Structure 1
Amino acid sequence: MGNESNSFKSEGNFASPPCMAAEVDPGYFDPLAVDPEQARDVARWRTAERKRLREARRTLSSSQRTIASAALMTGLERLFEEHLAGPSDVVVAFYWPIKDEPDLRPLMVEMQASGRSIALPLVETRAAPLVFRLWTPETRMERGHWNIPVPPRDAPEVMPDVVLAPLMGWDSEGYRLGYGGGYFDRTLAALSPRPFSIGVGLAAAKLPTIYPQPHDIPMDVILTERGSAVGG
């Protein structure tokens, strides 16, 4: 385990009480769950946690975000040295930062210049696995779903060997709390062979548990600005 001390609030003050689950509209539940009522409770709790974690991240200053992003890129370089020491044709899927997520784009440029293939995910069909298309600094980006910049449809589609997934929250079992669409879990479940998955987020976003459901897939590594907190 790495140092998981909180960068802007203590973990003890960072989790919503379980009773919050009864106060949020149950718009979604896991259809794979054995107990639909329990799944709805978890969905309500996750909705409250996402809102709280999003607000906490939003309050970080620009300099704090820059420092965290730089530390994450350093940590990723170390991980890549360990896990990408083989062929240069390994495809690494990054993400385009939104909603105050750590910005890893300088590392994308650096790795692409060194000969690595860099891809970005995009939604081509709602409620379906993500598609990955090659990216270079010269790629003319388009607006995809939710106005996220994505490579154009004529960019080559690839299968990633490594996938970086942004985290809203995470737990010590490697489970990731995202934005609630289920896209990364759906994608990892569909890809064969399954790529090496790295969840990228802030140490402050650690939760005691995300109450994993049948569709949730743990990351191989959780990386924060304080180092590898899970795996690595």
Structure 2
Amino acid sequence: MADDSQTGRRYASSPCMAGGDPEQARDVARWRQAERLRLRAARQNLSVEARNAVATALQAHLLDLLARCFGDLRDRVFSGYWPIKGEPDLRPVLSDLHHAGVRVALPLVEVKQAPLVFRRWTPDTRMVRGDWNIPVPPPEAEVLTPDVALAPFVGWDRKGYRLGYGGGYFDRTLAALDSRPFVIGIGLQAAELGTIYPQPHDIRLDAILTECGVQVIHLRDHSASD
């Protein structure tokens, strides 16, 4: 793992090795796509009762983790997500944080193949349809930079790497931010993989949280805004 000492970004290997072995990269890409299909199918096949149980457990674990790591998040920026494709629904936590004085944001694709933008959200926000038809805050919503961000995953490993949907948006966003948020991966315990075979562009998350609790955590000093 290599660090950029000025930005605090963590890469799977030195950025100067980003070229890598093209054949190996293609093999990893094919394997990842097969795993995405398998894990997403398993997630979609969960019963409504199982999904509700997962969401309830994750909500409690997330609030506990935030309290332990940050204490009072009042006036700080927390980025959540709008659940799609069977992702755990943590929207009640977003409402709780908003009412506790936290500035809540949601990520969205404003420009294809560019870093995500984080627009402010409240329970009263009039949502519009964004990329992938996902509800997002409207263009006039305030743009924020998160102190803490959730990153829903399809798969995860014990080193803190996340298997996403394959668009690369989250890694691209983290690499572009001047101030790195504390990033918490969110998903199912059953989605654990031995490794995601991290590539040079993959950025390790700060924590992995499942319905069974905290699985991985790499603490940094986030007691005050960076």
Q: Does 1:165 align with 2:148?
A: no
- 63, 75, 83: which is aligned to 2:61? 75
Q: TM-score, normalised by structure 2?
A: 0.87
Q: How far 1:86 sits from its partner (Å)? A: 4.6
Matched length: 202
* Corresponding position of 2:3: none
Distance 2:127 2:72 in 1: 30
The 5-angstrom pairing of residues 1-232 of structure 1 reads: 32-86=18-72, 88-231=74-217
* 1:87-145, Cα deviation, whole Å (9 max, x unpaired): 52110000000000000001111111111110000101111110001000110001000
* 1:33-63, Cα deviation, whole Å (9 max, x unpaired): 4111110110000000000000000110001
Distance 2:37 2:150 in 1: 22
* Corresponding position of 2:9: none
Q: TM-score, normalised by structure 1?
A: 0.85
Report the identity percentage: 60
CA RMSD, Structure 1 to Structure 2 (Å): 1.2
Distance 2:105 2:46 in 1: 28
Distance 2:116 2:69 in 1: 23
- Alignment gaps of 5+ in structure 2: 1-16, 219-226
* Runs of 4 or more above 3 Å deviation: none
Distance 2:217 2:18 in 1: 27
Distance 1:143 1:89 in 2: 27
Distance 1:140 1:84 in 2: 29
Distance 1:33 1:95 in 2: 32
Q: How far 1:84 sits from its partner (Å)? A: 2.4
